[in-house]
Amino acid sequence: MRKGSLLVEALIALVIIMFSVGIAMVSSYNLLKKSYENQALVELSDVLLNECEKILTMNVLQIASGTRKVIYHGKEFTVNVTKTIANYSSKFTMSPDGEPVTLNFSGLSNIVVVVVRVTDSKGRYVETKVVPKQ
């Protein structure tokens, strides 16, 4: 009878070990998944930052709207550049006595805003707006 109880104890110990290994594998899988997602986000952000630095040094007339491919660390990214003209002069209002007063910002009437979007092969993207030299 002693040998049978020893076998049951060994089986229970194996079941406990298998459960603990399974729990550890699920936790490490989730950790690795988040790590790969963060790595992809960092790579996208690096490419976006490089493209924005290029655009900030250019004159407005030198910036061309369009889409192009960029290779970064052996991976291919798509960079989409779009130029839009924004009029901010009417967005600044004040009402000191309950009566709205529109401020005159003649320098903000027509500003070129460049939207830069970087997309990877899996469809993930980061996007920002840049105001280059006017």
**Cα separation, 68 vs 108, whole angstroms:** 30
Q: How confident is the model at residue 96 (pLDDT cuts 50, 70, 90)?
A: low
**Predicted local confidence at residue 133, as pLDDT:** 79
**Cα separation, 58 vs 9, whole angstroms:** 74
**Predicted local confidence at residue 69, as pLDDT:** 95
Q: How confident is the model at residue 87 (pLDDT cuts 50, 70, 90)?
A: confident
Q: Look at the pTM and tell me if it is higher than 0.75.
A: no
**Predicted local confidence at residue 106, as pLDDT:** 57
- From the list 50, 118, 108, 45, the residue with the least C-alpha distance to 82 is 118
- Strand locations in 19-74, DSSP E? 66-72
**Cα separation, 73 vs 70, whole angstroms:** 10
Chain segment 34-43, per-residue pLDDT in tens: 998 899 899 9
**Cα separation, 84 vs 130, whole angstroms:** 11
Tokens of 102: 């529109």
